[in-house]
Amino acid sequence: MSASVRLAKRVAELAGCSRSEAEQYIQGGWVRVDGQVVERPQHMVDGEAVTLDPAATLAVAEPATLLFHKPAGLDAFAQSDAAARAISADTRWDEDASGMRLLQRHFHRLTPLAPLETDASGLIVLTQDGRVWRRLTEDLDGIEQEFVVEVTGTLPIYGLGRLKHGLQFDGRPVPPCKVSWQNETRLRFAIKGVRPGQLRDVCAQVGLGVVSIRRLRIGRIALSKMPVGAWRYLPVDERF
């Protein structure tokens, strides 16, 4: 029986390349061991069948950004691993048109961005990309977000105007925003600089109770028809 060796060594022999190039192939998801993709160069192999995808390239895999339809009740921010645990190969949206190859490394060290309160549902962003992190932290207050809020109660005659401009939250004036009725029970907000708890509070100030909140969009990136609990990749050429 042959001695066990690191997968990177076996791939280097198989492809006639350097050990560092073999590691890049493995980390890029191009190597299979007995038919299963293995992304760990240090994985030990013995007599298993090791194959290198004919389409393999040495291009460094880009850090991933995932768009997730968070269900209500999931605390994705106080416990940052909660959303990451809900994301797997099985929950990727069937209609993800990003063209991104699914890699297990994309599920590691994901940071949730653009806070969304636990009781709300809708679009959240999880990323490994420092550029996205900076955009959705340093610049977030300047990015418009869109929400649908289901409400109860009767809106006073000037209530819609007050929601658009003139209310305060947490001791500070709320910036002007766009508010309209989506139907008889749902208000649509397009707003910048929104804080957790703000939408519930301003609705209460005009006599409305809040049944549910769903975030539809952050900047130019929309939830679209992605179902609750599903996720998709953000293509590298799309920007918030």
CATH code where residue 10 lies: 3.10.290.10
Q: Are 63 and 69 in contact (CB under 8 A)?
A: no
DSSP state of 128: S
Domain identity same for 168 and 114: no
Rounded percentage of the chain residues whose pLDDT exceeds 70: 97
Whether 60 is in a domain gets the answer: no
Question: What pLDDT score was predicted for residue 81?
Answer: 67
Range of the domain at 29: 5-52
Judge contact between 127 and 110, C-beta under 8 A: yes
- Mean pLDDT score, 98-108: 88
Give CA 192 to chain center in angstroms: 19
Is 165 among the domain residues? Answer: yes
Domain shared by 153 and 39, yes or no: no
* Per-residue pLDDT at 79 exceeds 70: no
Question: What is the pLDDT at residue 129?
Answer: 93
Contact predicate 141/192, CB 8 Å: yes
pLDDT tops 80 at residue 134: yes
Residue 109's pLDDT is: 85
Residues 148 and 135 in one domain: no
pLDDT for the residue 220 = 96
- Please give the tally of structural domains in the chain: 3
Q: What is the pTM of this model?
A: 0.84
Sort strands 178-181 and 31-33 into parallel, antiparallel or unpaired. Answer: unpaired
If asked whether residues 166 and 207 sit together in one domain, one would say yes
Shared-domain flag, residues 225 and 132? yes
